[in-house]
Structure 1
Amino acid sequence: MKNQTNGIDIIVICALIIIIEVIAKSRALILGSTIGLLFIYQRTTRRKISIMRSAMFILSLAIFLSVCFKQDSSMGRILIYKIGWNIFENHLNKGIGLGNFKVVYKDYQIDYFKNHPYSIKDLLVADNTQFAFNDYFQFIIETGWVGLTSFVLLSAILYSMVSQRNENVNRKMGKMELLASFVLTTILVAAAFTHVFESGVATFEQTVS
């Protein structure tokens, strides 16, 4: 009973964090926090959530956030991903080098508008882009096959570790472990839609320089 009460406390805290993120209109963090909250709910109620239902809910939430929150920003990121994919294809073997995305992207964006069909909307959402708004994708662009292989291997290892720990739904988790799982899930998911790690590195570099 005590463990269940502790779990409810954590769920309330996580829900309050999501409310703050909604007010701040941070779509990536909202999505990441919601997935983290689903995990906390499963662990505290000791119920297994259907993977299909969870996937449909998360997909619906992602579409809703893309359409209803900052639609122009969503279109801008699609443009960034298209240009980013061109960079990846042309530098598949060695990548463009860590930290070089901003410089290389600017040249590719100019080339894109010169040699590819585009809409007025594309022109309006084009910007002085410094990040790929997907830390994993940017890492792969900058490191090529080496980064892609590393990302796949690390993802497989992380998935295996999480699966093993999650097999026993009745295993009790403490408050700090639940909260740490929520925060980690939020960050890892958000990094797929914004520049969580890259902005942190940039801030650190500015601080020490």
Structure 2
Amino acid sequence: MSNIVRLIETRRFADDRGWFSETYVEAKYAAMGIDVRFVQDNHSASTHVGTIRGIHFQAPPHAQSKLVRCVRGRIIDYAIDLRKGSPTYGQVAYAELSGENGRQLYVPEGYGHAFVTLEPDTEVAYKVSDVYAADCDGGVVWDDPDIGIDWPLPASGPVLSDKDKVLPRLVNFDSPFEYDGVPMAAKGDLG
């Protein structure tokens, strides 16, 4: 089912040159229940340890599912259930993704997405199921106590965009997402 958060272990083929991995094959992912059409690839670079990007989403009619991987460095990647009426509303699933482990996190529509960098010069690449639409861009503040993410931050604290500092709290948030009858299958650390 494409509406379940999933941690995906990619297979690597190694030899004396290094390794090769298929990071997305439509038929294989559909067989795993990820049957969305991805239309855009995004790539971010974060210079500092403790850079937080999120908690972001894109609302209907341009809601996005994401397939996230870390291509350099390490992150903790988070999916937060934002579906109104869900028994797992506000709950979090997360996993460590790195250039070394090759894992991917699938974040379906209706979930907020965020990550924090654990190493300097970290790069993250992700596929999305709809193009960016500024009028549908939204989020929830990163340090919302009702969500309660225990961010692994350096002593200097987080590195945030101005936008991420002023997003609303969950208690003041009118979710544009409706519960589809499928609760978050796994919560907490998926790895």
Higher Cα Rg: structure 1 or 2? 1
Q: TM-score range by the shorter chain?
A: under 0.3
Please, what TM-score do these two structures have when normalized by structure 2? 0.26
Please, what TM-score do these two structures have when normalized by structure 1? 0.24
Task: Give the strand-richer structure, 1 or 2.
Answer: 2
